[in-house]
Structure 1
Amino acid sequence: MRLRRPARALIAACVAAAAVACGAADPDDFPPPPSGFGTGPLATPAAPSSPGGTPDLETPAEVGTGLDVPWGIAFRPDGTAFVAERDTGRILRIAPGGGPAEPVYQVPGVVARGEGGLLGLAVSPADPELLYAYFTAESDNRIVRFRLGAQPQVVFQGLARAGNHNGGRIAFGPDGLLYVGTGDAGEPRRAPDPADPSGKILRLTPDGQPAPGNPEPGSPVYSRGHRNVQGLAWDSRGRLFAAEFGQNRLDEINLIEPGRDYGWPAVEGTGGAARGYADPLVTWGTDEASPSGIAIAGDTLYVAALRGERLWTVPIEPAALGTPRAVLDGRYGRLRTVAVAPDGALWLSTSNTDGRGDLRDGDDRIVRFPAR
């Protein structure tokens, strides 16, 4: 791993982005980001979104087994967990602290192909009975919200879908707004285009509208130049970090600043700062990581690695990230999502039934590590 210190008019939610050229791109085809992008008023989260404390990684307890590609994990304030199964479209409920995984909802219209399906989950901070889900439909990726037993309401749609690079992580930030990690849908030219919501981090109101104070007024885009974002987490200072899959060389952890361009496809890893791009704080070789979910507990960033089959722990320092350390190396196989529960426990899901892992008895599973 390597360390370093540190959009235009409204994108119509009901219209898919225009198709663009597919395949790998020549970095020289992409000039530095325009200086006009991101010059509007910015809103900064003012409070942390994760509890303090340190999870005890030496005391695991399985709280769910026999699951089908558990992807999103979200908690109500009382500790009740909801889990999204990517390929079945089901949402499961697990009691606070663990217990049987109970199917409680079937998201209609989920089309699970390749890396698509039922992906991220979030619980409304204003109403814990209201859930949000990001999923792949027949024509696009979209976000819906719903109450158990009721029909879902589409709040954002028109995100490009593909066999891979669907993004999918959603999370409410400390400011009460909904943040969305999207992928480039296998079309790199989408990522730097401020008029295309793919290959971005979006910042939305709970109703799915562009949030006030976004870098470009009337646009949902918060940052751009991303290949495939599947991890979002805030530290105690309200700073947003994101995990990003590299192509052939380097995976990344980025500190997300509104209006910045993170370089894809012109840059993979570091080396873009001189051209106006934001460089990552941490990079790994793709065989060491393939980072999906991330979470923060206390002053540590936890990164779930798929191909790397380990959990990375990264110290959070005032002006940088410290040296990553690998734990649970190979113990559970591919790791998809890591999340911090209201009681400070760390929940970790495996992804060995996704067609790329080696199955173990009980897969897929969710493991809980209690707070110290």
Structure 2
Amino acid sequence: MLRRSAAVLLALLLGSALGCSSDVSDATGEPSNVLTFGSAAATPAVTVRATVADGLASPWGLLVLPDGDLLVSERDTAQILRIAAKDGTRTVAGTVPGVVPGGEGGLLGIALSPDYATDHLVYTYFSTAGDNRIARLPYDPAQPATQQLGSVEVLLTGIPHGPRHNGGRIAFGPDGLLYAGTGDSSNSALAQDKASLAGKILRLAPDGTPAPGNPFPGSPVYTYGHRNVQGLAWDPQGRLWASEFGQDNWDELNLIRAGGNYGWPVVEGVGGRTGYIDPVVQWRTSEASPSGIAYADGGIWVAALRGTRLWRVPLDGDHPAGAPQEFFTDAYGRLRTVVADRDGTLLLMTDNTDGRGEPKPGDDRILRVAVS
């Protein structure tokens, strides 16, 4: 059954995600444009099968290696860990040089080269004292522990850095290109500035140059008008979806269109305004703060930090098939990342900080989740 907050959400959502939206008043009496969904979708059974690893320190990025083992980036230690899938044995692959952690910055997203079988490259997104950067480095697990990472090759610099809103998710798309979600670095005006790399989704060639065919020639900017993008995922039809943190009212799940303006700071959530693309789903910020996302089992799965739950948005093509469904509410704390593994399970990673980037007592872990 849907939990109470999802039912409340459904009652609130009264327009069309991809069609027209209507002005109504929310519980505060303020006007807001909201969404409705079609007929209810079946709710799958979702259970934790096993704890893959625990005792992690501010984990952020997670990827699956070709042999099934995992690589994890730790934001504050700047370490990349290898975790054996069969028994959870942990090896420190190495420390990424140049990382300066603090607030929401540090070693953030990681991604595997599409040609990893031959080039053995791992891509990273990280903070320095003055900016956020995208880099790559070779990974050789045959080397001794802590020495398995090679020299860093910086591909892109100058992504604005702040104590908050640094974005950080990177992923290779089905087109073989590298996508990166950035934040507005707490300077909202930068999101609408196409000359800035803040508040954007970037699209790069594997060598870090702007991808051919980008909507703004010579620029890595793919979309703009974002507040803080930390989730990227593709559905089987190759459509890109992205999660975005709102400010006071609405967090978002967006369907990404090249060159699109997603509204921030002019619009938060659904605005129904010409020139801005509305989200497909929105949540109250207390129920989401969406970070990593993944496609699996006919929907987009969303790891919620402040909301301390896992959301599933069932899809019918490019729109929701029903209301969002929630799982594990308050069971494991803040959820940072969700990844679809090749065996049909999900890998769910916690990040139990106090919301200001400071660790608090807790046991961050990776859980293997089965979906019926």
Q: Same fold (TM over 0.5)?
A: yes
Partner of 1:309: 308
What value does the CA root-mean-square deviation take over the aligned residues? 1.9
Partner of 1:174: 174
Instruction: Please show how residues 135-146 of structure 1 align to structure 2 within 5 Å.
Output: 135-146=126-137
Instruction: Please show how residues 127-166 of structure 1 align to structure 2 within 5 Å.
Output: 127-128=116-117, 129-148=120-139, 149=148, 150-166=150-166
Distance 2:81 2:270 in 1: 39
Partner of 2:214: 214
Deviation at 1:101, TM superposition (A): 2.4
Contact 1:162–1:186, Cα closer than 8 Å, also in 2: yes
Contact 1:119–1:135, Cα closer than 8 Å, also in 2: yes
Distance 2:45 2:85 in 1: 17
Partner of 1:287: 286
Contact 2:61–2:109, Cα closer than 8 Å, also in 1: yes
Contact 1:310–1:335, Cα closer than 8 Å, also in 2: yes
Corresponding position: 1:109 with 2:98: yes
- Residue deviations 1:8-66, cap 9 Å, x none? xxxxxxxxxxxxxxxxxxxxxxxxxxxxxxxxxxxxxxxxxxxxxx9963243111111
Query: Which amino acid in structure 2 is aligned with residue 64 of structure 1?
Result: A
Query: Which amino acid in structure 1 is aligned with residue 275 of structure 2?
Result: G
Distance 2:198 2:313 in 1: 28
Task: Report the CA distance shift for 1:289/1:355 in structure 2 as closer, same or farther (over 3 A).
Answer: closer
Distance 2:341 2:44 in 1: 10
- Secondary structure of 1:287's counterpart equals helix
Distance 2:125 2:241 in 1: 19
Contact 1:203–1:210, Cα closer than 8 Å, also in 2: yes
Contact 1:254–1:281, Cα closer than 8 Å, also in 2: yes
Deviation at 1:371, TM superposition (A): 6.0
- Secondary structure of 2:273's counterpart equals helix
Query: Which amino acid in structure 2 is aligned with residue 255 of structure 1?
Result: L
As a proportion of its length, which structure holds more strand?
A: 2
Distance 1:97 1:282 in 2: 37
Contact 2:47–2:371, Cα closer than 8 Å, also in 1: no
Contact 2:306–2:355, Cα closer than 8 Å, also in 1: no
Instruction: Please show how residues 31-110 of structure 1 align to structure 2 within 5 Å.
Output: 57-110=46-99
Partner of 2:16: 4
Contact 2:52–2:85, Cα closer than 8 Å, also in 1: no
Contact 1:4–1:320, Cα closer than 8 Å, also in 2: no
Higher relative CO (Cα under 8 Å, sequence separation at least 6) belongs to 1
Q: Which residues of structure 2 form unaligned runs of 5+?
A: 1-8, 19-42, 140-147
Task: Report the CA distance shift for 1:222/1:140 in structure 2 as closer, same or farther (over 3 A).
Answer: same
Contact 1:4–1:280, Cα closer than 8 Å, also in 2: no
Please say which of residues 317-326 and 244-253 is displaced more in the overlay. 317-326
Partner of 1:299: 298
Contact 1:349–1:366, Cα closer than 8 Å, also in 2: yes
Task: Report the CA distance shift for 1:170/1:55 in structure 2 as closer, same or farther (over 3 A).
Answer: farther
Instruction: Please show how residues 191-202 of structure 1 align to structure 2 within 5 Å.
Output: 191-202=191-202
Contact 2:248–2:285, Cα closer than 8 Å, also in 1: yes
Partner of 1:333: 333
**Runs of 4+ more than 4 Å apart:** 354-361
Contact 2:253–2:279, Cα closer than 8 Å, also in 1: yes
Partner of 2:238: 238
TM-score (norm 1): 0.83
Partner of 2:248: 248
Task: Report the CA distance shift for 1:354/1:137 in structure 2 as closer, same or farther (over 3 A).
Answer: farther
Distance 1:358 1:327 in 2: 24
Query: Which amino acid in structure 1 is aligned with residue 244 of structure 2?
Result: E
Query: Which amino acid in structure 2 is aligned with residue 234 of structure 1?
Result: W
Distance 2:127 2:359 in 1: 25
TM-score (norm 2): 0.83
Counterpart of 2:110 (choices 108, 121, 131) is 121
Q: Count residues with an aligned counterpart.
A: 323
